[in-house]
Amino acid sequence: MGRVRGDPVTTAREDELIVAETFGPTFQGEGPSAGQQAVFIRLSRCNLSCGTHTSASWACDTPYTWDWKRFDPKDPEVARRESVGALLAWALSLPPRLVVLTGGEPMLQWRGLERLAVGLRAAGREVEVETNGTLVPRPTLVEAVTAFNVSPKLAAAGDSERRRIVPDALASLARCGKARFKFVVNHLGELDEIAALARRFALREVWVMPEGTTAGAVLDGLRAVAEETLARGWHLSTRQHVLIWGDERGR
């Protein structure tokens, strides 16, 4: 993974965040809240590198948050520092009740993330944090969020199991009572891998979501896994934003 030398992300000031993009109002496109009006704050940086290994069979759809072989983190179109106050003011100036804090991996910037989540909840907003499930959430963040949308990565993402499956983090998220677990799949065989993780970490709310950056690919994926997902007692997520807007950025 191409982390920036001297990357200050883990020591970023608690009153600022490194942001890739903000957008909305739009719809939450995935998971249990799909279809709800929302605004999105996408933080820069990730601790995984999905899709860059030869063993990978799908690619990260937000490589501009972390892949410095392809994107320049000094380019303000790629990453910029914003104060928590400015981000709060922006989100609160817009009508949607739901604010989605996503990445990259937003929990890398836990200090600023906590401040932002606490401020949004104090103002009456619903807050979803989207995470890859490799970092243990601190109690302040657990208290502040409405829900964690946890998306643990399967072998097809290409990173080693040691990097993508962090037992303490997954167990902690499973215990906190606010997490739903959404797995990106591109073939039926991956459902057994999900079942093993669900058993191992006592995951209660499992969602399966087909990979795809075109409406056709998402529909084919939904059809391929629907019956088996139903039979296993899990939920099925579409990618509504892809069905409507394809892979247009900022949607």
* Sheet with 206-210, side-by-side order of all strands: 80-83, 16-27, 37-43, 98-102, 126-131, 147-150, 179-185, 206-210, 235-236
Residue 97 counted as an annotated binding residue: no
Least separation in angstroms between CB 123 and ligand SF4: 27
CA 75 to chain centre: 23
Q: Using alpha carbons, select from 236, 247, 191 the residue that is nearest to residue 34.
A: 236
Q: Is 105 in the site for ligand SF4 (CB under 6 A)?
A: yes
60 binds ligand SF4 (CB under 6 A): yes
CB 105 within 8 A of CB 133: no
Binding residue for ligand SF4 (CB under 6 A) from 9, 18, 39, 50?
50
The span of 7-15, 26-34, 71-79, 101-109 binding ligand SF4 (CB under 6 A) equals 101-109
Residue 48 or 120 having the CB closest to ligand SF4: 48
Least CB distance from residue 48 to ligand SF4, whole Å?
4
CA distances in angstroms from 182 to 64, 84, 133, 194, listed in the order given: 22, 28, 10, 10
Let me know: does 128 contact 145? Beta carbons within 8 Å.
yes
Q: Check whether 176 is labelled as a binding-site residue.
A: no
Q: What is the distance, to the nearest Å, from the Cα of residue 194 to the centroid of all Cα atoms in its chain?
A: 17
Minimum Å gap between C-beta 169 and ligand SF4 is 13
46 lines the binding site for ligand SF4 (CB under 6 A): yes
Instruction: Specify binding-site residues.
Output: 27-29, 42, 46, 50, 60, 62, 102, 104, 151-153
Binding residues for ligand SF4, rule: CB under 6 A, are 46, 48-50, 60, 62, 65-66, 103-105, 132, 153
